[in-house]
Chain A
Amino acid sequence: MNKNGYFIEVDSYQGYKHNQLVGGDVFLSTKIKEENRIVSVLSDGLGSGIKASVLATLTATMASRFIVNYIDIKKSAQIIMKTLPVCKERKISYSTFSIVDIESDEHIRIIEYDNPPYILLRESRIMDVDKNLIKVKPRRKKESQLYFSNFKAEMGDRIILLSDGVTQSGMGTPTMPLGWGISELRMFVEQIISENKTISARELAKRIVKKAMANDSFRCKDDITCGVIYFRKPRNIMVMTGPPISKDKDKDLAAMIDTFDGKKVICGGTTANIVARELKRDIKVNLRDIDPEIPPPASMHGIDLITEGIITLGKVAELLEMGVKQDSQDGNAAQKLVYSLLNSDIVNFVVGTKINEVHQDPNMPVELEIRRNVVKKIIKLLEEKYLKEAHLQFI
């Protein structure tokens, strides 16, 4: 969260070209914690599949590194264009990009090259931003046109980045022979916002991509990518796991989660038992959906989710690392927790440091990690891969 009290939520959603296992669009975001800065890049590589993926990944990675290190944009663009490998069939090297650089004082700079223009939403309305044309001419190559714009962000602003798969979706169909188009898309976005003013970046990106995929009857003709940056009021979540090192802290532990303002999750049977005992509440375990890998979730009045401890947290770390799409509350306890984490902005971990000796029994068929190490791993992933803010407190 920054000094103006808002949190910058960055998320994206993607659909691949029909019959492709790899996307040729890349949305890459980097958070520079020390500078309180976020750089996001959306790049669309020439063609589709692996080849496009390589081009787009190269472009996105280079672009974000250059911008992070304040290398002049003209120079960066030239280097990128010169570096990209040349396509064997088309004899050109090409990849589009849109770069958003958000500095700590909410000063935003956006550089666009051949992607559909970004959309800026302010107070539910689409704003027009003045853009400067920059011409870049790498040696022996055709001149390219880049657009540069800058403005100051306000609370509630949304920046929507798109690949041409979105605007060109539905092309050739009787209802939209020329594709969805930017103006229809703008109307669609305004419609969504008017229905749901606080829709998350994640959900908005998903809605746009799903609509674009529907335009293509779910047999997409191109990769479809949407990235959304949302300057929002932060959504808080507390994840409490592990009993406190000394028993006289039990009361504090229960009070902490009871009075927390936001979503509340407990991971661990003993921890849940302590909270239930202190708050005089009942726990009910759900035995309807049994998962072979992850113990079932439980419920308690006032707590949003209760799961088993270390197996579930281990799985959560694994899922976050793999980067799975978790669009709903469905699934096992670990999937439910991943969903809750991704739908929050500030994650507060409260970790009891008591060691469960039974878990260290060498007869255990699986290796159970020490709780705080798993939590540290999850925090690292949330911060670096999902650009969340995470706090860790031991008790």
Chain B
Amino acid sequence: MEKINIKICTGTACYVMGGANILMLEDFIPQDVKDFVHIEGSTCLEYCKNAELGKPPFVKINDKLISEASVPKILDYINHLTGKDF
């Protein structure tokens, strides 16, 4: 399986719009894909300054930008990448 890199923005706007909850993401990743997922935090990714990209909180999974991110939304996308159902 290919490595999945997840970058969570911890900037002000993302944090207050729900990003704080996403920082617990690691606890929700299923055991069998855990080894392939790399989670890191980031200082402001500055996507919030461009309204066309959507609304905060922002999370970047590999090259895909997810706006209005939430834990279920991220899990869905990991699901899509791994082709697994959980």
CB within 8 Å of B: which residues of A? Answer: 268-270, 272-273, 283-287, 290, 292-293, 295-296, 298, 306, 308-311, 356-359, 361, 364-366, 368
Q: Which of B10, B17, B49 contacts A296 (CB 8 A)?
A: B10
A–B complex contacts, Cβ < 8 Å, 5 sampled? A295-B10, A295-B15, A308-B43, A358-B12, A368-B12
CB contacts (< 8 Å) of B24 on chain A: these are 290
How far is B10's CA from A311's CA once the two chains are assembled, in angstroms?
11
Which label, helix, strand, loop or mixed, suits the secondary structure of the A interface? loop
Most chain A C-beta atoms within 10 Å of own C-beta, residue among B12, B17, B24: B12
Helix, strand, loop or mixed for chain B's interface? mixed
Question: With A and B bound together, what is the CA distance between A373 and B26 in angstroms?
Answer: 37
Closest residue of B by beta carbon distance from A308: B12
Q: Are A272 and B43 in contact (CB under 8 A)?
A: yes
Q: How far is the CB of B12 from chain A (nearest CB, A)?
A: 6
Q: Given A292-B20, A358-B48, A298–B41 Cβ distance below 8 Å?
A: yes
Residue numbers in A under 8 Å from B8 (CB-CB): 287
Do A366 and B16 touch across chains, with their CB atoms under 8 A apart?
yes
CB distance from A181 to the nearest CB of B (A): 52
CB-contact partner of A285 in B40, B48, B49, under 8 A = B40
Residues of B contacting A368 with CB < 8 Å? 12, 16
**What is the CB-to-nearest-CB distance from B70 to chain A, in angstroms, rounded to a whole number?**
15
Contact flag A310-B46 (CB < 8 Å), given A287-B39, A290-B24, A292-B20: no
A contact residues around B43 at 8 Å (CB): 269-270, 272-273, 283, 285, 298, 306, 308
Query: What is the chain B residue whose CB lies nearest that of A366?
Result: B16
Are the C-beta atoms of B49 and A357 separated by less than 8 Å? yes
Q: Distance (Å) between the CB of B63 and the closest chain A CB? A: 20
Which residues on the A side are within 8 Å of B20 (C-beta)?
290, 292-293, 295
| Contact between B13 and A359, CB atoms less than 8 A apart | yes
Complex CA distance for A308 and B24, rounded to whole angstroms = 18
Shortest Cβ-Cβ A-B pairs, 4 listed: A269-B44, A285-B41, A269-B43, A269-B11
A287 touching B41, Cβ below 8 Å = yes
Q: Which of chain A's residues has its CB closest to B14's CB?
A: A295
Q: B11 near A308 (CB under 8 angstroms)?
A: yes
Give the one of A273, A306, A357, A358 with max B CB within 10 A.
A358
Once bound together, how far apart are the Cα atoms of A270 and B50, in whole Å?
Answer: 14
Are B23 and A290 in contact, CB atoms less than 8 angstroms apart? yes
Closest B residue to A266 using CB positions = B43
The reply to whether A364 and B17 contact each other, CB–CB distance below 8 Å, is yes
| Complex: A296 Cα to B8 Cα, angstroms | 11
How many Å lie between the Cα of A357 and that of B50 in the bound state? 10
A296 to B48, CA, bound (A): 19
Q: B residues 29-82 with Cβ under 8 Å of A?
A: 39-44, 46, 48-49, 56
The CA-CA distance from A395 to B15 in the complex, in Å, is 26
Give, as a whole number of angstroms, the nearest-CB distance from A308 to chain B.
6
CB distance B12 to A296 under 8 Å? no
